[in-house]
């Protein structure tokens, strides 16, 4: 696959993956390509865990599902992320950012704005939306043949120091490289970030994976081979819109149209 095609065709995989193990050579390729990423002073502050053990994947899936339910029920998720939700093509066209919640059960459609509003808690509970999203999240993660975990050494990842900022930039390069390689291999990947919003859940996963104290677990992805025939999750979104060059860039100085 051409590089530019991989960049443009790269998408977050929201649906289940094909029921197929990820080939060992593809897992090694993901790690090999990531090792070529830039890092400050070539410090390579990362370590990876490729989880294919179904028992561990199922345990992490349960934690991810429970985290989604907790975040939806206590309103934190909506409070923090409501501003990114779009409900019509027109809204997406207008803002060219955010996520368009375009796929949900017919019974919920008339209430979607209310359900996903900060005051939508009662309606959301009535339609059991937290459990729907939690179950979907658990099923999605549990059915993933591979979880890819990125940890950073605390020697570099010091949040109050520049090296901490640089380590995150380097990790970003790894994440985009993983995304491009998975795209080129006909695979998909998706962040599993709900446990990351609840420290005790995140630490539970870090403990389960035996990540030592001198490293910090920073990101978990579910990965697998994509299959367009697989149906979308119960509640799903699209987010391929992007702002145009004229909205993103200036020429020579700030404000000067490109
Ligand atoms: C730091 C970060 C956290 C993200 N967390 C999630 C997540 O929890 N679940 C998810 O499905 N996508 C997550 N994403 C993916 C974004 O939602 C996605 O990149 C964006 O909507 C654009 O869609 P695309 O990746 O398909 O181009 C995350 C992306 C980033 C960079």
Indicate which residue's Cα is closest to atom 18 of ligand 1. 12
Q: Does 21 have pLDDT greater than 90?
A: yes
Q: Using CB atoms within 10 A of its CB, is residue 32 exposed (0-12), middle (13-18) or buried (19+)? A: exposed
Predicted confidence at residue 154, as pLDDT, reads 98
Indicate which residue's Cα is closest to atom 7 of ligand 1. 191
**11 within ligand 1 shell (Cβ under 6 A):** yes
Indicate which residue's Cα is closest to atom 2 of ligand 1. 191
DSSP 88: S
pLDDT tens digits, 218-227: 999 999 999 9
**CA-CA distance, 46 to 16, in Å (whole number)?**
28
Predicted confidence at residue 105, as pLDDT, reads 85
Indicate which residue's Cα is closest to atom 30 of ligand 1. 191
Predicted confidence at residue 56, as pLDDT, reads 98
Q: Report the residue count for the chain.
A: 258
Q: Report whether 180 contacts 10 (CB < 8 A).
A: yes
Residue 106 banded pLDDT, cuts 50, 70, 90: confident
Ligand 1: residue of 191, 201, 238 to mutate (most ligand atoms within 8 A of CB) is 191
Q: Does 234 have pLDDT greater than 90?
A: no
What SS3 state is found at 207? helix
Percent of the chain, pLDDT > 90?
81
Predicted confidence at residue 127, as pLDDT, reads 81
pLDDT tens digits, 27-47: 999 999 999 999 999 999 999
**193 within ligand 1 shell (Cβ under 6 A):** yes
Indicate which residue's Cα is closest to atom 13 of ligand 1. 191
Indicate which residue's Cα is closest to atom 15 of ligand 1. 12
187: tokens are 């695979």
Check residues 243 and 126 and name the one with the higher pLDDT.
243
**CA-CA distance, 148 to 150, in Å (whole number)?**
7
Ligand 1 atom with minimal separation from the 194 CA? 8
Strand pairing class (46-51; 187-191)? unpaired
Residue found by looking up tokens 């010091």 in the block: 158
From edge to edge, which strands make up the β-sheet containing 187-191? 46-51, 146-153, 215-225, 187-191
Cβ atoms < 10 Å from Cβ of 161: 11
Residue 109 banded pLDDT, cuts 50, 70, 90: confident
Q: What is the mean pLDDT of residues 23-30?
A: 98
Residue found by looking up tokens 């090296």 in the block: 163
Ligand 1 geometric centre to CA of 12 (Å): 6
Superfamily of domain covering 3-227+236-248:
NADH Oxidase (3.40.109.10)
**99 within ligand 1 shell (Cβ under 6 A):** yes
Least confident interval from 114-123, 202-211, 245-254: 114-123
151: tokens are 């940890």
Predicted confidence at residue 242, as pLDDT, reads 95
Ligand 1 geometric centre to CA of 202 (Å): 18
pLDDT tens digits, 46-61: 999 999 999 999 999 9
What SS3 state is found at 127? coil
Whole-model pTM: value is 0.95
């Amino acid at each position: 696959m051409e590089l530019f095609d991989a960049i443009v065709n790269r998408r977050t995989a929201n649906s289940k993956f094909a029921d197929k193990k990820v080939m060992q050579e593809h897992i090694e390729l993901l790690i090999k390509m990531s090792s070529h990423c830039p890092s400050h002073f070539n410090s390579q502050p990362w370590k990876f865990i490729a989880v294919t053990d179904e028992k561990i994947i199922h345990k992490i899936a349960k934690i991810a599902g429970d985290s989604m339910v907790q975040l939806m029920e206590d309103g934190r998720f909506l409070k923090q992320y409501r501003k990114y939700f779009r409900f019509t093509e027109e809204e997406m066209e207008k803002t060219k950012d955010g996520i368009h919640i375009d796929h949900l059960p017919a019974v919920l459609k008339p209430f979607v704005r209310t359900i996903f509003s900060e005051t939508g808690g009662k309606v959301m509970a009535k339609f059991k939306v937290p459990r729907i999203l939690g179950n979907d999240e658990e099923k999605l993660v549990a059915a993933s043949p591979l979880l890819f975990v990125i940890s950073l050494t605390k020697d570099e990842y010091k949040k109050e120091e520049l090296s901490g900022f640089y380590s995150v930039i380097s990790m970003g390069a790894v994440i985009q490289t993983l995304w491009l390689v998975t795209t080129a291999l006909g695979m998909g990947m998706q962040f599993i970030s709900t446990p990351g919003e609840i420290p005790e859940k995140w630490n539970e996963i870090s403990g389960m994976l035996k990540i030592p104290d001198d490293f910090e677990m920073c990101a978990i992805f579910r990965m697998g081979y994509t299959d367009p025939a697989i149906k979308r999750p119960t509640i799903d979104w699209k987010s391929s819109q992007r702002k145009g060059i004229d909205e993103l860039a200036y020429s020579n100085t700030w404000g000067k149209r490109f």
